[in-house]
Amino acid sequence: MRKIITIGREFGSGGRELGARLAHALNVAYYDEEIVKAIAQRSELAESYVNQVLEKRIRAYYPITIANTLNMNQGDAVYAVTRSIYAAQAEILREMAEKSDCVIVGRCADYILADYRPIRIFVYADMEARMERCRLRQKAENGEVLSDRALERRIREVDRARAQYYRFYTGQIWADRSNYDLCVNTTSIPVEKLAELIAAFASVEPPEGLLKD
Amino acid sequence: MRKIITIGREFGSGGRELGARLAHALNVAYYDEEIVKAIAQRSELAESYVNQVLEKRIRAYYPITIANTLNMNQGDAVYAVTRSIYAAQAEILREMAEKSDCVIVGRCADYILADYRPIRIFVYADMEARMERCRLRQKAENGEVLSDRALERRIREVDRARAQYYRFYTGQIWADRSNYDLCVNTTSIPVEKLAELIAAFASVEPPEGLLKD
């Protein structure tokens, strides 16, 4: 049986790092940018645009040219393009899950791949720890330094967008524990260590029925 | 440094079993009935009454005699007795945590023992799995068999009481992930196996700062 692991995460909690480390520890594929590339190819949209639709607010971005081309009003065009990108993503996730064991971060993969009975993980952390992680990342990437207030606002905005996207696509509440097998707080345990422990968790076969013991 | 583990749990999710197994795996004390006994001794109330106050709806039970003795109205008497039992429990939990490493299930221990930086675990499961666990337990204990509907109602009632108690005592939301280090869903992984994995988790030293890596 395929071993699929999906990771939902709060922004700045280290979910992406956990996913990559977990894939490494389990020696399975880690899909991330490949998914965006494949959607872009299939839909003939630019990668940057696909990313916008997938990662930012779902209704805030759309190419005006598409509305004109299709002779739709803007609202309908946004909806149509958004849906087609989601559909392409779902198709691609299923193909990847079919191809090999893998770890997938975000993308409603827990919902899309439900038939594969993935191990569904949610990663979160205290706001202070998330801010600290973001600061380190910002410094490493581009040296940009936001004020604490602006950083906290940004973190909340990204999470709101994720919640909105998840709700739109799955009809479920984002971060609701009932949609996950394991929720881990990275505030007080290194992500590296967590990856080892979850790798052990992932190697446990689920019981046949609902309860074994 | 003391290793204290606190376990919050949905009714029927196997939290108590997990606590006992975890204590066994880590070779630390598991406190449960001892706490009620100690409170009863200290407060000169019957164990059964202490249990009622601690486990059932916080405002629904009180000995009418106390109100008469203290010349208080009933509402004030309920409040006074409830508070005194909570205070005794908090004192006893701190003494136990001071005495040795331990696992404590329920009792707002995550909040009361916050200074000890416990590993705070929350255990939950799908309703169907919880009902199945309750049925097995009922059969084993007294042969009582509730209808599915009555059983589900009972499970929700107990959780509501726990949420109310937790809120009353801590001012926090029960089962809110931010109050826990790890939330585990026992629906699809045997509690026995979970105990081993969490024992490994518990043996990781927390980083000095908020983030190590």
Closest approach of chain B CAs to the CA of A81, in angstroms? 35
- Among B40-49, B65-74, B129-138, B167-176, the minimum mean pLDDT is found in B65-74
Interface contact flag, A178 B206, Cβ < 8 Å: no
Interface contact flag, A178 B210, Cβ < 8 Å: no
| Whole-number pLDDT of residue B77 | 73
| Whole-number pLDDT of residue A71 | 63
pLDDT tens-digit readout, B58-68 = 554 445 555 55
Mutate to test the interface with B, among A110, A172, A210, A212 (most CBs of B within 10 A): A210
Closest chain B CA to residue A189: B206
CA A134 to chain centre: 17
- How many pairs of residues across A and B have Cβ atoms under 8 Å apart? 103
pLDDT tens-digit readout, A74-99 = 667 777 777 888 888 899 999 999 99
Interface contact flag, B204 A193, Cβ < 8 Å: yes
Query: Of the candidates B132, B197, B200, which has its C-beta nearest A211's C-beta?
Result: B132
User: Rounded CA gap, A97 and B210, in Å?
Assistant: 35
Closest chain B CA to residue A134: B211
What ipTM was estimated for this complex? 0.84
Q: Which amino acid is at B107?
A: R
Q: Is the pTM of this model over 0.90?
A: no
Kindly state the DSSP code that residue B115 receives in the 8-state scheme.
Answer: G
Which chain A residues touch B126 with a CB distance below 8 Å? 178, 210
Of the candidates A107, A106, A104, A133, the residue with the CA atom closest to the CA atom of residue A191: A133
Closest chain B CA to residue A12: B211
Interface contact flag, A201 B197, Cβ < 8 Å: yes
| Cβ atoms B100, B34 nearer than 8 A | no
pLDDT at residue B180 tops 70: yes
Kindly state the DSSP code that residue B207 receives in the 8-state scheme.
Answer: P
pLDDT at residue A198 tops 80: yes
pLDDT tens-digit readout, A24-68 = 999 999 988 888 888 888 878 888 888 777 766 555 444 555 555
Interface contact flag, A213 B200, Cβ < 8 Å: no
| Cβ atoms B88, B39 nearer than 8 A | yes
Tokens encoding B156 = 């929700």
Mean pLDDT of B36-46: 84
Q: Which amino acid is at B108?
A: C
Residue B20 bridge partners (DSSP): none
Interface contact flag, A124 B177, Cβ < 8 Å: yes
Which chain A residues touch B182 with a CB distance below 8 Å? 182-185
pLDDT tens-digit readout, A133-188 = 999 988 888 777 889 999 999 999 999 999 988 998 899 999 999 999 999 999 98
In sequence order, what DSSP letters do the residues of chain A get, joined into one string?
---EEEEEE-TTSSHHHHHHHHHHHHT-EEESHHHHHHHHHHHT--HHHHHHHHHS-TTT---HHHHHHHT--HHHHHHHHHHHHHHHHHHHHHHHHHHS-EEEESTTHHHHTGGG--EEEEEE--HHHHHHHHHHHHHHHT-----HHHHHHHHHHHHHHHHHHHHHHHSS-TT-GGG-SEEEETTSS-HHHHHHHHHHHHTSPPPSSS---
List residues of chain B with CB under 8 Å from any CB of chain A: 17, 117, 122, 124, 126, 128-129, 132-133, 136, 175, 177-178, 180-193, 197, 200-201, 204, 206-207, 210-213
